[in-house]
Each structure stands twice: as structure tokens, then as C-alpha cells.
Structure 1
Amino acid sequence: SNHPPGLHGNGKPGNRLEGGNHGNRHPLHGNHYGSRGGFRVSFPLRTNYMFARVRPPVRSPLGAVSVCLWLRPAGAPNLGTPFSYAAPGQPNELVLLAWGGRPLELLVDDQAVALSLSPAPGRWQHLCVTWAASGGTWRSFQDGIPRGRGEGLAPGHPLRPHGVVVLGQEQVR
């Protein structure tokens, strides 16, 4: 199958999946998925212009966040951004960066930490990262196995509200 079992996003009221293919002939596939109103998103090509955007109803600062996703890297040694949350005035509020062949990085408010996550090319893997403003603590998981933890990543900096989540592309504002 092209998608792992259970691949879906949170389709809570107020969230809307927006395709970002800008009129290209290779559409981004975002299908309504499952009984909880989630989405399954496929990127048929590796490009600079395909992404999915969600405007979550975040109206107050977030003191903690968890990001979980299924990822199947192509194996090319290029930079990729599986997850990005940009807030007004800060395009790198929370970003998960994939550097082909190197461990993933977590950025919070432009501060970065290398994670002990190295997804194998061509294979679906489940990745999760948690972060809390209190102490700047973070944890990472790959396929349900704890892979790392730390502190001091943007401590005392709650994530700004009114942001935009982009899947598959770094945000530039």
C-alpha cells in the first residue's frame, strides 16, 4: 500500500486542509479519511511547491505540543520539512527538518536541537516529538521507541497563537 495503516490527521472543527500545488498539473492528494474527519495526504512528486496547509484555531499561546507523523523518506540527500508551524512574526516557531542521511532537527523559535531520529529511506516510520516551554524539555520517538530527550530548547517561550501549519514545506513569511 502507498499509505501506512491509520495515516490520518486531526480533522477537528475549524481545521481545513488546503492543497498548495499552485495550479500545477501534479495535484496534491488530500482525501477525507476515516470516521474522525481526518485527512490522508500524498505528495506524488518531490517539489518546492507541493504542501498541505492547515490553519488550526490556536487562539492563545501553547505551553506544550506533540507532533506525530508517518514519514517515508525518498532517500535523496536534500533538505525537507515534514512539519512547520509559523506564527505571525516568526516563520520558525516550530519546525521539524529532515536532512537526507542526517538526524532530524527540531527548531523552536529559531533555536535548534539534533534529534536521534534517522528514518530509513523507502520505509514508512512513525515519528513523534514532544516539546514544553517549561524548561524547554523535548522528547523524540521513532516507531514507538524513545530515541532521545533533552532540555533548554527555547525555555519559557510558549508558541505564539494564530499560526499556520504546513506539511511538506518550510514556511517563509
Structure 2
Amino acid sequence: MRFKPVPEQPADLETVETVHRALPATVGEVDDCCAHLVEETALEDRDEAATWLTFLRALELAAEESGSFRRRETGSSGDAADPAALDRGRLGRAFRARVDGADAVCAALEKADEPLTVAEVADGLRDDRSSDDRRRSGRPRVDPGRTERLLGWAVLLGLAERAGDGYRAALARE
């Protein structure tokens, strides 16, 4: 399953940890997960909280059961509040595999010889859409704002780097 909602990327992974820790540990622990996240974090409204909930599902940090959400255990120790539990490599793999368009954005950067701007990445994605997509919709739909958010998350998760006014694939690190 691929997930489409992509929130604005935060400045650091600590924000992701904060939202993750604010999720209830069990389904039914809170009546309204969106309201709970707004109360417990810096998220401003229900729409933003709903986007984060779906995105955290994509990153395999949240699970939805019976119409409610719970925090998924992520660390080897089973302690979801352990900051080490949010492994950047694991999150990056989930991001590419489960967020719609993320792998295509990262692949575009990996193929490029030079850094790409948001517009260049969006144009490349538009060109890569299949003819079936074009026929169905009348035109390929690539939202530059969403592309920019995907690139921001790719940077946060160590898959890409800022390079001047553009982005490039992250250099391999040992």
C-alpha cells in the first residue's frame, strides 16, 4: 500500500519522535487521536494531525486498528520512546517503499549528474507518468508543492542533500 499525504517536513527527527511518542500505545487509549496530537504536540489543527497520522503509518511508526491509531513499537528493545528507535535508515526505506512518489523523487536525484531544482524534479516526474495515467486524467498530475515536501523529507531522512538551489542524492556514507 502506498500513502499519499506528506506533511511539511520538520527541522529535525526530534519532531518526528515527539509526534510518535504522543501517539497512544494502545487502540482506544484516547477518544480522538487528531485532537490528542494537537494537544500534545506543536501540530496546529486536526487536518495537520490527520496528515501526520497517515504519514506515520507510511513510515511504519503508527498502526490503524478499528478506526483508531496506536504507536508502533520500533526499537529492538521494544521501547517506542527510545530515540534510537527512530532509525533514519529504516525510516528512509519505509519512505521510499510506502510513500507515493518518494521512490521516483529519489530515483530522479540518483540518475542526475547535477543537483535538480524542485521544478526539474516535478517536470521529470510528469514526463515519467505512463500514457495510461495521462489518458485517465487528461494530464499528468504532479504537484510541485508535494514534490518539494517529498524532497524535504528525503533530506531529513538522509536520502538526499541540499545543493545550492537544488537537491542531489545523498553521498554514500560509511
TM-score category, normalised to shorter length: under 0.3
TM-score, length of structure 2 as denominator length:
0.23
Structure holding more strand per residue: 1
Q: When you count helix as a share of all residues, which structure comes out higher? A: 2
Provide TM-score, normalisation by structure 1: 0.23
